[in-house]
Structure 1
Amino acid sequence: VESFPRGYPSLSAFLGSDPDFTIFRCFTRLHTRVLLHKQDDLIELEQQLDQLDLSQSQTNPYLLTTNRRCEANKDRQELLEKIEEKLKEYNELLAAFYAHLERPEPEESEIQSVANWMDGKKPVAFAESTFLNDWSDLRRAKHSVEKGGLETFLGRYAGVFSPCKDTNPKSEDPQIQFIKQSKVVALSRALTTIFAVATLVVPIGILYVVKAVPTRLLVIAAFTGVFSSALCWLTSARNYEIFSATAAYCAVMVVFVGSLPNE
């Protein structure tokens, strides 16, 4: 990044140095303003077409039964071509706007990282550095692997975990730490594997030692709650996936208890 001249060259190099930094405004208000304007134009053209159809239905109904180009249909053809052009512009803008809205909002830590760099380096004029002011209007690219709670936590505090740091950073500034996303994912999967094994082995060991049935049920309820909470906060699992996995986990515990001798 430091090899580029100060200004937009260094700013673009920094934003492009990491996928988490590719943060841009969606311009929601401007999109809706322009869409409303184009929508009103189309409504006006629609009314003109309806009026033309009504007029021709009273003077020459045959013209409404054919699309062939004839002199009498010239006004309608010109109007339809104008509508087609306006519709194309409207649909392209509407599709682009909806695509922006479907993009995820950046994490606060990601926005803060970019803001801190801009405050420290001041690469562009102040009036042109205000695009980060409205956080609710910012969007980022979708991650190839959508982050869960554990990945987000590890990414936020990756500076503590040296294995997660990028060994080939794109900046020589010691204040900027680049994180290797693949290493974060690998560490997350390793910790998830350990946790998954622990949530099975630990309760099974406790249930094997405990003889009282009420205590066994309490242990099952407690570890089922831990398992479900972990799925909710540490992964990006959907509600039905959490419910299904929790039900399966609880069923395994109940079957295991059923095979144990009572007190």
Structure 2
Amino acid sequence: MLELQEQLRELEEELKNLDDDHAFSNDSMEKLRVRSRMADQHAARQEYQARRKRPRTDQSNRGIGSGENHKADDEEQAQQGNNPILSERTVLLAKIEDRLLRYDKILIKARELAEFQRPNDRDWVNVRGWFWNNKPLSNEQEELFIQMKDDLVTLKPRDDSGKLDTWIDYAVTILPKCMNKFFVNTSPKGFQDPYLRFTHTGRVEKIAILVVVLIIIFLLATPVFIMYRITWDSSRTSTFLNIGLLIVFSLLFSASMGLITKAKRAELFAATAAYCAVLIVFIGNFSSNAT
């Protein structure tokens, strides 16, 4: 990419020098070449015709190198005879276009590569542990790339997995061997590694979904029940207590969403606002019934 940038800079500098030579020339036809493509092509054809009519001196007077010069002139004439006559400016623009298209293609590929998902801490630590135990590369310098987390990408990311899945997966490792058999998947046939353990992803996701459902039920049912008991007393401070409960449980809800899911800021804001609206509706209903 940097090489193409330098080539583009050199070609653009050559084009600028050519434009300056024509623009500041004393010949009016040369000045016209900068403003008109037809005039530039016409001047290029005239230059080509002038080169063809250039007289050749005798080979004996020009020395040994004249044969090579005549050969180069013949090759140039043959090439110009097969192809249309192009001006120097047109050739430079074609070269700039070619380099620019190649540069844009590499730039787009680099942008697509940058959009790939980076590995999470759990996957990165697991891969580093596998490298440490198996040492697949003979040279330690060749293994330094595994320490550069920001330069690694995940080929098969788990979009729905969050920190909760990581916590459950870690909890499986500390369970007794008789209990974690339910979560450990069998190794592929012909692949035996004492340092490697395959977790049953589907079962871990089911446990994570169950935990999320229980948390949601707790965050919805608990404040409703407490607000109902407070409002039933019909005291003057019941409204302020309900507002305090609303703030506390809204903070718990947003913290839970941020920790156990991969919700973005906008999604977290919308979910918290909807949760607050539900609790406010309950507060209003309880207050009207109490009165």
**TM-score normalised according to structure 2 size:** 0.68
| Bigger relative contact order (CA 8 A; separation at least 6) | 1
Structure 1 residue 42 displacement after superposition: 1.1
Which has the larger Rg?
A: 2
Instruction: Report the secondary structure of 1:140's partner residue.
Output: coil
Instruction: Give distance in 2, aligned partners of 1:74 and 1:181.
Output: 65
Q: How far does the alpha carbon of each residue in 1:160-202 deviate from its partner, in whole angstroms, 9 at most, with x for none?
A: 5554433454632243112343433333222212221221112
Q: Which runs of 5 or more structure 2 residues have no equivalent in the other structure?
A: 46-85
* CA deviations over 1:67-119 (Å, ceiling 9, x no partner): 79664543223222322232233222222222232223222322221222222
Q: Which runs of 5+ in 1 are unaligned?
A: 1-34
Alignment counterpart, residue 137 of structure 1, candidates 151, 167, 176: 151
Deviates more, 1:190-199 or 1:177-186: 177-186
Q: Distance in 1 between matches of 2:87 and 2:169?
A: 63
| Distance in 2 separating the partners of 1:164 and 1:80 | 63
User: 1:235-246 residue pairs with structure 2 within 5 A?
Assistant: 235-246=261-272
Partner of 1:7: none
Deviates more, 1:141-150 or 1:184-193: 141-150
Identity in percent = 27
Mean Cα deviation higher: 207-216 or 151-160? 151-160
User: Aligned equivalents of 1:116 and 1:241: distance in 2?
Assistant: 35
Residues 168, 176 of structure 1: alpha-carbon distance in 2 compared, 3 angstrom cutoff: closer
- Hey, what's the Cα distance between the residues in 2 that align with 1:182 and 1:194? 19
Show the 5 A alignment for 1:154-193: 154-159=168-173, 160=175, 162-167=181-186, 169=188, 171-193=191-213
Instruction: Look up the match of 2:241.
Output: 215
Alignment equivalent of 1:51, drawn from 17, 20, 39: 17
User: Deviations for 1:202-248, whole angstroms, at most 9, x for unmatched residues?
Assistant: 22122222233333222222211111111111111111221121111
Partner SS for 1:250: helix
- The alignment yields a C-alpha RMSD, in angstroms, of 2.8
After superposition, the Cα gap between the structure-2 partners of 1:105 and 1:226, relative to the gap in structure 1 and judged at 3 Å, is same
1:124 and 1:51 mapped to 2: Cα distance? Answer: 52
Q: Tell me how many residue pairs correspond in the alignment.
A: 229
Displacement over 6 Å in runs of 4+: 67-70
- Counterpart of 1:196 in structure 2 is 216
Give yes or no for contact 2:130–2:195 (8 Å, CA) kept in 1. Answer: no
One of 137, 152, 169 as aligned partner of 1:124: 137
CA displacement at 1:262 relative to structure 2? 4.4
Distance 1:63 1:257, change over 3 A: closer
Q: Evaluate the alpha carbon distance shift between residue 252 and residue 120 of structure 1 in structure 2; reply closer, same or farther with a 3 A threshold.
A: same
Q: For residue 46 of structure 1, report the CA deviation from its aligned partner.
A: 1.3
What residue is the counterpart of 2:128 in the other structure? 115
